[in-house]
Structure 1
């Protein structure tokens, strides 16, 4: 499977997951805001590390997770704004790309028969013209313009599947590849289904080296000093 096909399939397959995630709780901020800094702060007092992490988690739960909706004060919005932004951005990009590609490769529908044709030939030609115009493989500039439909339509064009289309030019092939890669990366980042790496601003408390944090794909973040090799996480104190 080509990278473009994999990216477009990722979008189509995970769109329902994005829809489900809209109303769910949680965060996909990366690096996790405040979380790793709590772990690293606890390292300054090794005996307090686990207790500090527990206190932080308890405070977070009291402040946000256990809040009664009837209480005064800020509450979480009904929808996860980051997920909604991702869905809007990806859908707009895919439909615009499909519009562009269709304008280049989609053949115009067959016309109806001229009046002068014999009745039998005219009826057959008109039937073919109606079928050609209604061909479900055609891209429509109105109506069903969702991200999954756009992704699968672009996938069919990239793979050269048959239909009322001319061959896909190199320029449009590159356009599909670039948009698909960016859109799939946004979907994966929003759903936290891919591993990621980020540098932590705070230096290593032991050697002043740079700390690299790894996480994503549902895993708890783990920080590692790139100089001395020390590792920190919510479960591991410090490993040389």
Structure 2
């Protein structure tokens, strides 16, 4: 069984690839290159259509060049994952992060007050503390922070409970699944359902991912299709 720490490490490793994919140039007619290429070609189609609509509504001479993100699908995936991880870190920090050492009051002995104040300021500024002040951190940064909590690294924190670690694990698994789907690095399979039966009446299963050419197979008669047509029956 995959542990929460392993899942977080996978997410941390894949994040630079996801960031790079944000700038990948889409390729027309890329269905035969696998699901990632096919999705990229759809992104390009959407971008071209959006540009055409803007050209009808606005005068480019007034607004200047306004580039379109190369992969809206990757961008949306990154933002969704970052938001989910940040929310997870907020909940975790509220449960296990120790409160900073309070500043000394005027009733503290003068000789000890400066030392106590310095310790309080240092504790408050501890870089290991989770801070979320309106700007969502990168997914990799938050995953690293959550990994440190799961591994019990030193810092102003209490140990995670079993339920808290399970919660982090569920968020991490969902994030990894989304990254693998958009990068096309995981095998995928799903049934088309009753609305799309084979001519024989059997259920059709679609396979793809990990760079492989997508194909479909009938679980009834065994017919096999790719984008080139029927290759076995």
TM normalised by structure 2 equals 0.71
> Relative to 1, partners in 2 of residues 1:73 and 1:123: Cα closer, same or farther, differing over 3 Å?
closer
What stretches of structure 1 of length at least 5 have no aligned partner?
37-60
Quick check: 1:179 aligned with 2:171?
yes
For the residue of structure 2 that corresponds to 1:90, the secondary structure is helix
Residue 128 of structure 1 and its aligned partner are, at CA, apart by 3.0
- For the pair shown, which has the larger CA radius of gyration, 1 or 2? 1
Secondary structure of the 1:238 match is strand
Residue 229 (1) aligns with residue 226 (2): no
**Counterpart of 1:211?**
204
CA distance in 1, matches of 2:225, 2:201: 15
- Residue of structure 2 equivalent to 1:104: 95
Shift >6 Å, 4+ stretches:
none
Cα deviation, 1:96-115, whole Å, max 9, x if unaligned, reads: 11111111110011234455
1:163 aligned partner: 155
C-alpha contact (below 8 Å) 2:186/2:209 kept by paired residues: yes
The answer for the alignment partner of 1:131 in structure 2 is 122
CA apart distance, 1:144 = 7.0
| Distance in 2 separating the partners of 1:2 and 1:196 | 18
Superposition CA RMSD, Å:
3.5
Aligned residues: 203
What displacement does 1:231 show? 2.7
Distance 1:110 1:80 in 2: 46
2:164 and 2:123 map into 1 onto residues whose CA distance is: 24
Q: What runs of 5+ residues in structure 2 fail to find an aligned partner?
A: 36-40, 55-66
CA apart distance, 1:214: 1.1
Distance 1:218 1:137, change over 3 A: same
In 2, Cα distance between equivalents of 1:26 and 1:3:
35
Q: Contact 2:86 / 2:136 at 8 angstroms: preserved in 1?
A: no
75-84 vs 189-198, greater mean Cα deviation: 75-84
For residues 231 and 117 of structure 1, what CA distance do their matches in structure 2 show?
83
Q: Is the 8 A contact 2:82 2:138 kept in 1?
A: yes
Question: Once the 2 structures are TM-superposed, how far is the Cα of residue 92 of structure 1 from its aligned partner?
Answer: 0.6
